[in-house]
Structure 1
Amino acid sequence: MTPARRRLLLGGLALGGLTLSGVVAQRSGSLFNSCQALLPPTPAVDELIRWAWEGVDARQFLDCHVHLVGTGDSGSGIEVNPQMESLFHPLQYAQRLFYLNAGCVHDAPGRVDDSYVERMQNLVDGLRPGARLLLFAFDRFHDVDGRASRQRSSFYTPNAYAQAVAARHPQYFAWAASIHPYRNDCVEALAAAVAGGALAVKWLPPAMGIDPSSPLCDRFYAALAAAGLPLISHAGEEKAVHGGDQEAYGNPLLLRRALDHGVRVVAAHCASLGSAVDLDQGENGPQVACFDLFARLMGEARYEKLLFADISALTQRNRSEEILRVLIERSEWHPRLLNGSDYPLPGIVPLISPADFAARGLLPPSAVVVLELVRQHNPLLFDFVLKRHLSSRGQRFAPAIFETRAFFERKTV
């Protein structure tokens, strides 16, 4: 990234006092991912990584939360809202540049799409043989009549592109479709995705304009349950993508409708941000932390084999230390937790601070410098190694959380 573009980015962040996801720059490090390649072999790095993989079968490692983004310059069909390219919308403009840098494609004019995929391949090569990523397509915003709106869509990644990337590189990638349930052709689109090898369906309700509790979703839920595909749905407040009804549609309790249809639901990020109305006490119920509503659902026996969650984004600085500790310590939930990185976000340097975890007793201080080195070369490996070394009251995330492949390969509940 050129100095001029960095100045534009910082100016965009400063205008109006806006920050990316409420984070601040690390005290000692750069704001930007240096996008280095091969990790240098050193005893400290080798030992930290070796221990992280202990007990984890890399052949079962499928990072289940990976964003497939770009600019559409390859003919992929990807669309990006013009606001993300305009200095008149400084937060979204800054976010776009951070995402490009995190994916190491900020200096790849004319081939951003291809460079993004190549970078992910490079990062997977830095894991262990057999490890793969689940790439997300992303549908447009649709209104209640099933009409797509490009103006209200932050971005769009077609199912066909996600399927094609996974088909070209099956040793690296699998794919998840994104299908808006209000679409008139949603059931047919799901059938096509299943035939094309999709392992899941991904929603971001606040940005896509989806009320998961709406009867408009029923025919899609029925088809999804019959197909046996899980639904990975964002839960909680959404910070990274704009649009839709941010407050209402991230409410974890809205996912009950899908669960009651027999759909396996993965609540992304464990609903770890924001608050929502406690709908169990009526439409005018009190505001309750989204995580507490998620925990209530996890405690209901009827959802024990249906409700799961991914641990993506939990290490970001805008997440609660208390929630992270709860998830580490509640080992009875671990069989229902799935690892995801939220890539490319681990490549956004200010979002995650190993030093802060060490200061709070969640991470050995000796791991901090090593993890920072790993991040500059491989954000995916950094995300995995960091999570494996976190501990609270003698508990860690179980190795099985990182062996997610079987969950996505089975087709029935």
Structure 2
Amino acid sequence: MPNDTRKNIIDIHCHTAGIGAGESGCFVSPALMGSWKYWVYLRAFGVTEQELKREGDGLVMRRTSERLAQSERVASAVILAMDGVVDANGNLDRSRTEMFIPNEFVAKETAKYPNLLFGASINPFRPDAIERLERAAESGAVLLKWLPAIQHIDPADERLIPFYLKLKQLGLPLLTHTGKESSFTSAKEELGDPERLRLPLFLGVTVIAAHAASSGKSQGEDNHDRFLRLCREFPNLYADISALTQINRLGHLQRLLKQTELHGRLLYGTDMPLLRTPLVTPFAYSHVLPLRRMVEIARIANVWDRDVALKEALGVPELVFNNVQWMKDTPPLP
């Protein structure tokens, strides 16, 4: 454990969800709702469908805030909205959208809790995308989140140049999924290729590659290798370390940490609620951690504190936990 154990860490990658209860505007597609993943996610969020119907979708964020308040290490979390797929006219296409969590709902709910921050999501192919981006910034958004393979967004599309320039002007970083996507029922995997981020990087946008492109291949090459090549070219490319302790990504965190020159550009994230599933367990690391240490970590009650302890044990330096230079204005700690 580091000597400085102040509660000062920001989780930049934390999801929420909703079924439309309490007039939230959220929805989940029939395909995802009919999948076993839907029930896993509800359990991981610590809610039941009946509770959401009774109390409203804001319950997910309330319980997230309550659990986070009990952490001794993590001060706040960015809660991510989730825009959907749009049709040829730029309107929301519900038939191709697996999950929709509107900005207005997330902005309203996060404003209730001092330890939750607003992460916006806007499909840039909406006709009013720039206006939506300005409204999100006015509502306190600290970043913009994309999941290209699910939202059908090609970051390399030159039609997005005005949107990117507005992002840069507003000082909002783009947190975008890189690598293979397996949390939904279907995905356009080619859109997770890190090389597709060259356009916003060239234009000077601060880009955060979620999961450091730690899974999948593009054009026969590991996505992670393509990410590392971009890092050498663009100092405005960052990455978060969310999901990198999951059992389906074993070894990726240690591989990333070998790139010591990137430690100043690695950011702490959890990919909550996946952190609260069997995908993450210290006992998956018996090849690198002694049994006593794994047991100590497993006994930590708070899920954020347990995650920090596991990542520290695996070699994540204190610098990574304290990196906040991605933010235009660092918020005061709660």
TM over 0.5: yes
Contact 1:146–1:184 at 8 Å: present in 2 too? Answer: yes
Gaps of 5+ in 2: none
Aligned equivalent of 1:307: 237
Match of 2:309 in 1: 385
Q: Give the one of 280, 283, 287 matched to 1:360.
A: 287
| 1:344 and 2:268 aligned | no
Asked if residue 222 in structure 1 is aligned to residue 155 in structure 2, the reply is no
The 5 Å alignment of 1:230-269 reads 230-246=173-189, 248-269=190-211
Q: Give CA deviations for 1:141-190 in whole Å, capped at 9, x if unaligned.
A: 12454232111111011101111112111x21111110111110010001
For 1:149, the equivalent position in structure 2 comes to: 93
> In angstroms, what is the RMSD of aligned CA positions?
1.9
Name the % identity: 32
- Higher-Rg structure is 1
One-letter amino acid of the structure 1 residue matched with residue 62 of structure 2: E
TM-score (norm: length of structure 1): 0.76
Counterpart mapping for 1:146-225 below 5 A:
146-169=90-113, 171-225=114-168
1:130 Cα offset (Å): 7.3
TM-score by length of 2: 0.93
2:19 to 71, 82, 92: 71
Q: Which runs of 5+ in 1 are unaligned?
A: 1-50, 87-92, 278-286, 391-395
AA aligned opposite 1:100: L
8 Å Cα contact 1:137-1:202 kept in structure 2: yes
Aligned length: 328
Q: Give the 3-state SS of the residue equivalent to 1:134 in structure 2.
A: strand
Once residues 200 and 291 of structure 2 are traced to their aligned partners in structure 1, the CA distance between those partners, rounded to angstroms, is: 43
Contact 1:228 1:410 in 2 (8 A): no
2 CA distance for matches of 1:311 and 1:54? 22
Deviations 1:245-281 (A, max 9, x none): 22x100000000110111000000000010012xxxx
Contact 1:80–1:155 under 8 Å retained in 2: yes
Moved more, 332-341 or 135-144: 135-144
* Structure 2 contact 122–144 (Cα < 8 Å) conserved: yes
Aligned mate of 2:212, from 264, 267, 270: 270
CA distance in 2, matches of 1:203, 1:180: 8
Query: For residues 143 and 212 of structure 1, do their structure 2 counterparts lie closer, same or farther at Cα, with a shift above 3 Å needed?
Result: farther
Query: 1:38 aligns to what?
Result: none
CA contact (8 A) 1:337 1:401 kept: yes
Paired with 1:385 and 1:79, the residues of 2 have a C-alpha distance of: 35
Corresponding position: 1:372 with 2:298: yes
| Whole-angstrom distance in 2 between the partners of 1:130 and 1:354 | 19
In structure 1, the residue matched to 2:319 is 400
Q: CA deviation at 1:113?
A: 2.1
Question: How far does residue 293 in structure 1 lie from its aligned partner after superposition?
Answer: 0.4
